[in-house]
């Protein structure tokens, strides 16, 4: 019996060695044939430029690229030309700008021009999620206290605004490179036979030693169980951590709304398989309406939640304390009432009184 086992092992080792040598020769031919093939690449990013004239002010916005990936930042340049005697107020650098995080903001550079003054500021934006990301509106306020043509005086104020700019954020971290020739693929054939003999001898010795030591019972192989954190447990923990950061009292209202909206979307994606993180608000609402897992009351409340977040994220609306409290409570109640507490992956039937558990908030549709 032992002899048959050894003969079987020797035959298997010989087959492996022959296969190894054959693959090495084929690899040598393949690597040399592909050495001169061109490497495919994505289209080169192009800059995006927008401008808007409002009275005595000309606002220009430039992004250095129209597409990027999660590891490549975007440079935003904001330039304002104002006529002489007109005061301008440049936009403040917040923690977030639309779907981007403001990683760095430079100082405002002011220079005199023939007709007035020019102010320029540069910011570095960092993408957060793949898909189509927008910068959010960019606005500059001005005040004109010059004497009018009819001789009257007084201050007139206005705002120049450029609409949000869309940028494509690719999901892959880097472009795939073409095949690379291996340095050891060009060895002479004799060396491949030497390597094969060494590998075969080592394999035979290892197999013989293993068979000699196998005297006891069969080894017991146990599978490792991985614990998967339920979606509602993860979401409630992230929500508590977000609230504990106290972003709203610190003046980071827009960042708070951006993050709590993204948190609830990711919970919906983990819980029900809806790709909420890569959808616009309109696409997200349509997905909710088509979902067969969510009840009507939760679909309505989630639409109210999106309507409450969008004005703060994109129109710089300032919510009241009651608005912020409603957004926090609504996120928590949606997570709790749609939690998979049974652990079977299916949404449990919520009580009939669930419709009264999440009250409609009167100021949720406050505009910009």
- Lookup: tokens for 335: 């997570």
Q: Would 67 be classed as within a structural domain?
A: yes
Is there a domain that residue 313 lies in? yes
The answer to whether residue 179 sits within a structural domain is no
Do residues 201 and 162 both lie within one domain?
no
The rounded distance, in Å, linking the Cα atoms of 174 and 316 is 34
Both 69 and 28 in a single domain? no
Name the pLDDT band for 222 (thresholds 50, 70, 90): very low
2 band by pLDDT with thresholds 50, 70 and 90: low
Cα–Cα separations (whole angstroms), residue 63 to 69, 92, 123, 162: 14, 17, 10, 13
Q: Please tell me which residue, 214 or 364, carries the higher pLDDT value.
A: 214
Between 275 and 310, the more confident residue is 310
Mean pLDDT across the chain: 76
What is the pLDDT confidence band of residue 227, given thresholds at 50, 70 and 90? low
Q: Which tokens belong to 197?
A: 């003999």
pLDDT score recorded for residue 346: 39
Identify whether residues 352 and 238 lie together within a single domain. yes
**Statement to judge: residues 322 and 252 lie in one domain:** yes
Average pLDDT on 318-341 reads 91
Q: Are residues 153 and 57 in the same domain?
A: yes
Per-residue three-class SS string for the chain: CHHHHHHHHHHHHHHHHHHHHHHHHHHHHHHHHCCCCCCCCCCCCCCEEEEEEECCEEEEEEECCCEEECCCCEEEEEEEEEECCEEEECCCCCCEECCEEEEEECCCEEEECCCEEEEEEEEEEEECCCEEEECCCEEEEEEECCCCCCCCCCCEEEEEEECCCEEEEECCCCCCCCCCCCHHHHCCHHHHHHHHHHHHHHHHHHHHHHHHHCCCCCCCCCCCCCCCCCHHHHHHHHHHHHHHCCCCCCCCHHHHHHHHHHHHHHHHHHHHCCCHHHCCHHHHHHHHHHCCCCCHHHHHHHHHHHHHHHHHHHCCCCCCHHHHHHHHHHHHHHHHHCCCCCCCCCCCCCCCCHHHHCCCCCCCCCCC
For residue 207, the enclosing domain spans: 2-32+187-213
| Closest by Cα among 162, 88, 149, 73 to 118 | 88
Q: Is the pLDDT of residue 154 over 80?
A: no
Confidence grade of residue 182 (pLDDT, cut at 50, 70, 90): low
Same domain for 28 and 57, yes or no, is: no
Task: Quote the pLDDT of residue 102.
Answer: 87
The reply to whether 181 falls in a domain is no
Over residues 67-116, the pLDDT tens digits come to: 998 889 999 899 999 888 889 888 876 788 888 888 888 888 999 888 88
Cα dihedral sign, 95-232-318-278: positive
Strand 67-69 with 166-170, pairing: parallel
Distance, in Å, from the CA atom of 279 to the CA atom of 273, rounded to the nearest integer, reads: 13
Specify the pLDDT at position 255. Answer: 93
Per the domain annotation, does 176 fall within a domain?
no
What is the number of structural domains in the chain? 3
Boundary residue ending a domain (138, 170, 202): 170
Q: Give the whole-number percent of the chain exceeding pLDDT 90.
A: 23
Mean pLDDT of 202-212: 77
Tokens of 11: 């035959």
Q: Is residue 119 part of a domain?
A: yes
Which pLDDT tens digit goes with each residue over 32-41?
Answer: 444 454 444 5
Rounded to 10 degrees, what is the CA torsion of 329, 332, 338, 343? -160
Indicate if 104 and 27 belong to the same structural domain: no
Q: Lowest mean pLDDT of 100-109, 114-123, 238-247, 272-281, name the range.
A: 272-281
Query: How buried is residue 281: exposed, middle or buried, by Cβ count under 10 Å (0-12/13-18/19+)?
Result: middle
């Amino acid at each position: 019996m032992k002899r048959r086992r050894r003969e079987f092992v020797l035959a298997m080792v010989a087959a492996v060695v022959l296969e190894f040598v054959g693959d090495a020769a084929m690899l040598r031919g393949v690597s040399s044939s592909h050495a001169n093939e061109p490497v495919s690449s994505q289209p080169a990013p192009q800059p995006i430029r927008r401008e808007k004239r409002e009275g005595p002010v000309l606002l220009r916005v430039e992004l250095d690229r129209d597409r990027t990936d999660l590891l490549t930042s975007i440079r935003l340049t904001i330039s304002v030309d104002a006529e002489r005697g007109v005061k301008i107020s440049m936009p403040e650098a917040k923690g977030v700008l639309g779907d981007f995080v403001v990683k760095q903001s430079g100082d405002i550079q002011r220079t005199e021009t023939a007709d007035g003054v020019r102010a320029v500021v540069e910011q570095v934006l960092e993408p957060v999620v793949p898909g189509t990301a927008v910068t959010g509106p960019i606005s500059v306020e001005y005040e004109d206290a010059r004497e009018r043509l009819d001789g009257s005086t007084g201050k007139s104020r206005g705002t120049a605004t450029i609409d949000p700019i869309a940028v494509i954020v690719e999901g892959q971290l880097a472009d795939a490179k073409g095949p690379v020739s291996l340095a050891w693929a060009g060895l002479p054939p004799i060396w491949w036979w030497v390597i094969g003999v060494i590998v075969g001898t080592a394999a035979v010795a290892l197999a013989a030693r293993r068979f000699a030591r196998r005297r006891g019972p069969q080894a017991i192989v146990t599978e490792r169980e991985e614990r998967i954190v339920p979606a509602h447990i993860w979401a409630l923990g992230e929500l508590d951590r977000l609230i504990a950061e106290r972003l709203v009292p610190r003046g980071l209202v827009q960042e708070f709304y951006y993050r709590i909206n993204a948190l609830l979307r990711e919970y919906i994606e983990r819980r029900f398989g809806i790709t909420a993180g890569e959808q616009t608000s309109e696409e997200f609402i349509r997905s909710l309406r088509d979902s067969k897992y969510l009840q009507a009351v939760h679909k309505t409340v989630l639409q109210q939640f999106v309507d409450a977040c969008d004005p703060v994220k994109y129109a710089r609306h300032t919510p009241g304390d009651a608005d912020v409290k409603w957004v926090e409570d609504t996120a928590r109640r949606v997570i709790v009432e749609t939690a998979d507490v049974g652990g079977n992956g299916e949404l449990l039937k919520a009580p009939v009184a669930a419709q009264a558990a999440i009250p409609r908030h009167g100021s949720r549709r406050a505009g910009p």
